[in-house]
Amino acid sequence: MVNLRRMVILTEGYSDTVSAKTAVCLLRYCPDEVVGILDAGNVGKTAQQVFGVGGEVPVVAGLASSPAANTLVIGIAPSGGRVPPPWRALIREAIERGMNVISGLHEFLGDDAQLAALAAQRGVVIHDVRRNNELDVATGLGIRDDCLRLLTVGQDCSIGKMVVALELARALQSRGEDAMFVATGQTGIMISGEGCPIDRVISDFLAGAVEKMLLRFQHHKVLVFEGQGSISHPKYSAVTLGLMHGARPQGMILCYEPGRTHVHGMDHVPLRPLAQLRTAYESIAALVSPSKVIAVAANTRCLDASAARQELQRVEKELSLPACDVIRDGPDRIADVVVQQRRELLSLGTAT
């Protein structure tokens, strides 16, 4: 990763919290590194006003307004991962100004001959976070019994699985636990500085890429893997399953957003009920290694405080599991469950 980043995040025309989830998460987790948001349509506002996070970071109309910036970040993660065509000129301008570029898109900016030549000429780096060369299959060997592996799973994509994993790992760390957040997507990698963009890995090597992270980091006592997609997602279920079978979590945290009824971006596909998904996640995980859902994480951003509290009570009763919103309430309720059930969860893994 580039050190000492002073980032302008490009969200021009996509400044809603779902489309711009990369921007929102960088504002939340790397606040000291963000110097501006680039979106001419919202110029004059603050990041806080546009995204509900980011405080006084200004929204600017052009790179000239952020002279201190040394890095342009592509702030969106659209389905399919292409560059919005109008952005190409902005990216070129950033490189011409001597800025590095960080992109999590599937379409690699470094493969654009013009941009690559310009970057070489200006001595800057184009960092395509999703680029990887994973070519190893999983082995199922060498996995330690004493490392507790947790995974966030969800009812849908773009529902907060990375945030829950990050918050949970931090909460465990703040209790003195040797816990680590394991990034599996472009935004998580931008935040934590390492990880594997698993949705970009060749299918045959997906579980292998996840297993390599497990083997590399299992000297920590707790690994919290960032989840991807959903086991019922018509586009991305393969990514979800490769992650599940590669990471072999003993415990899973089920993430959902109250009020969301259909798959994100697929208005013709209703979401599956949480109870069905809980059973599905547990039984599908167990085809390789036993696992149980230990808690529920609700993303209640669209509810007021009272409605959120009611919904959490409702879902706790429905599933007989502890539930919380890690942003609204903090992740302590889930961290408690992890600590309380640690012994039982570790024995699940050794029973394989």
What residues make contact with a second copy under the rule CB under 8 A?
79-81, 106-107, 135-141, 198-204, 206-208, 231-232, 234-239, 241-242, 245, 266, 268-269, 272, 280, 283-284, 287-288
Among residues 79 and 313, whose Cβ is nearest to a second copy?
Answer: 79
Check if the beta carbon of residue 186 is closer than 8 Å to that of residue 22.
yes
Among residues 125 and 238, whose Cβ is nearest to a second copy?
Answer: 238
Nearest distance, CB of residue 81 and a second copy, angstroms: 7
Nearest distance, CB of residue 136 and a second copy, angstroms: 7
Nearest distance, CB of residue 350 and a second copy, angstroms: 14
Among residues 77 and 168, whose Cβ is nearest to a second copy?
Answer: 77
Nearest distance, CB of residue 137 and a second copy, angstroms: 4
Among residues 105 and 147, whose Cβ is nearest to a second copy?
Answer: 105
Check if the beta carbon of residue 155 is closer than 8 Å to that of residue 255.
yes
> What is the spatial distance between Cα 85 and Cα 102, in angstroms, rounded to a whole number?
17
Neighbour-count burial of 309, counting CB atoms closer than 10 A to its CB (0-12 exposed, 13-18 middle, 19+ buried): middle
> What is the spatial distance between Cα 19 and Cα 81, in angstroms, rounded to a whole number?
11
Among residues 54 and 81, whose Cβ is nearest to a second copy?
Answer: 81
Q: Which amino acid is it at 146?
A: D
**Which of 211, 217, 175 shows the shortest CA–CA distance to 194?**
217
Nearest distance, CB of residue 177 and a second copy, angstroms: 28
311: Cβ contacts below 8 Å, ≥ 6 apart: 258, 298, 300, 303
Residues forming beta bridges with residue 292, ordered by sequence position: 251
Check if the beta carbon of residue 198 is closer than 8 Å to that of residue 184.
yes
> What is the spatial distance between Cα 21 and Cα 199, in angstroms, rounded to a whole number?
16
Among residues 43 and 319, whose Cβ is nearest to a second copy?
Answer: 319
> What is the spatial distance between Cα 318 and Cα 337, in angstroms, rounded to a whole number?
18
Residues forming beta bridges with residue 252, ordered by sequence position: 151, 293
Nearest distance, CB of residue 244 and a second copy, angstroms: 8
Nearest distance, CB of residue 45 and a second copy, angstroms: 32
Among residues 293 and 337, whose Cβ is nearest to a second copy?
Answer: 293
